[in-house]
A and B are shown apart, each in its own frame.
Chain A
Amino acid sequence: MAEHLFFLYFAVAALICGVAMVSRSNLLHAALWMLAFFVHMAGIFLLLNAEFIAALQVMVYAGAILVLYLFVIMLLDVRELAKVRQRHASATVASLIAGVMGAIMVVVVARGTFNPIHGAATAALLASQGNVESVAIALFTTYLLPFEVASLILLVAMVGAIMLAKRRL
């Protein structure tokens, strides 16, 4: 019961944070709303038996990515950024279409029936073994190659970001 209440809280809060993040004109405010959003998402992950993901969510998103955003915002001229007129002429149309899309998704989810699927990683196993260990086993056995590829992606991204951002090499 408490679980459900927590979920509802996190969900509503995350939605509010998201709306605020998208709608703020001040980039710093938007970034701070994004931080709140990330934290609430981490809470939802906790509720869904994904403790490791929740921790990473805080560390990677709230810790690394958000800081990156803040750095960029501060590197650039905030007053200059504020001059950007925020809304498009076509914004209403775009919002409408996006709304239709969201409605379809929600309707599909609400009307759909989801038969229970039974697999190896039951809640009991995760509880006994620990979420981190379960993820680690999968990551370093079955998904070892994608894992290495992911590291390569990060390397490439790093090189690319330096290449792009540096004035002169």
Chain B
Amino acid sequence: MSGPIPLQWPLALSALLFTLGVVGVLTRRNMIQVFMSLELMLNAVNLNLVAFARHSESITGQVFVLFVFTVAAAEAAVGLAIIIAFYRNKQTLNVDEFNLLKW
């Protein structure tokens, strides 16, 4: 347990968080929580990027995290707007009501 933190640690953490996010997306019925789980997954990806940026001694990974932030912010804004529009139409946030794919 000497020296810097091994690369495997953040990577493993990232894998676990990502899995957690996937489980959330797949199992939650509440749309807001589905979106929250998405944020979890994005954070896991960010962690990966930062870990590799340190490992490869490059700043690029961190710059990419900035872009991921941007996309996450945009996604949150648009996604929540969709949620509001959806709620206004259906009076529910149950994902199962998103069934226009099957007519």
Contact = CB atoms under 8 A, between A and B. Distances in A.
A138 B60 contact: yes
Nearest to A118: B57
Interface residues of A, number: 88
Contacts of B72: 60-61, 65
Contact of B27 (A88, A116, A167): A88
B28 A22 contact: yes
A19 B20 contact: yes
A91 B78 contact: no
B94 A41 contact: no
A139 B17 CA distance: 28
Contact of A72 (B13, B54, B83, B94): B83
Interface in A81-124: 81, 84-88, 91, 94-95, 98-99, 101-102, 105-106, 109-110, 112, 114, 116-123
Interface of B is mostly: helix
Interface string B84-103: 11011001111000000000
Interface of B: 1-2, 4-5, 7-13, 15-24, 26-30, 32-33, 35-37, 39-40, 43, 46-47, 50-51, 53-60, 62-63, 65-67, 69-78, 80-85, 87-88, 91-94
Interface of A: 1, 3-4, 7, 11, 14-15, 18-19, 21-22, 27, 30-31, 34, 37-38, 41, 44-45, 47-50, 52-53, 56-57, 60-61, 64-65, 68-69, 72-73, 75-76, 80-81, 84-88, 91, 94-95, 98-99, 101-102, 105-106, 109-110, 112, 114, 116-123, 131, 134-135, 137-139, 142-143, 146, 150, 153-154, 156-158, 160-165, 167
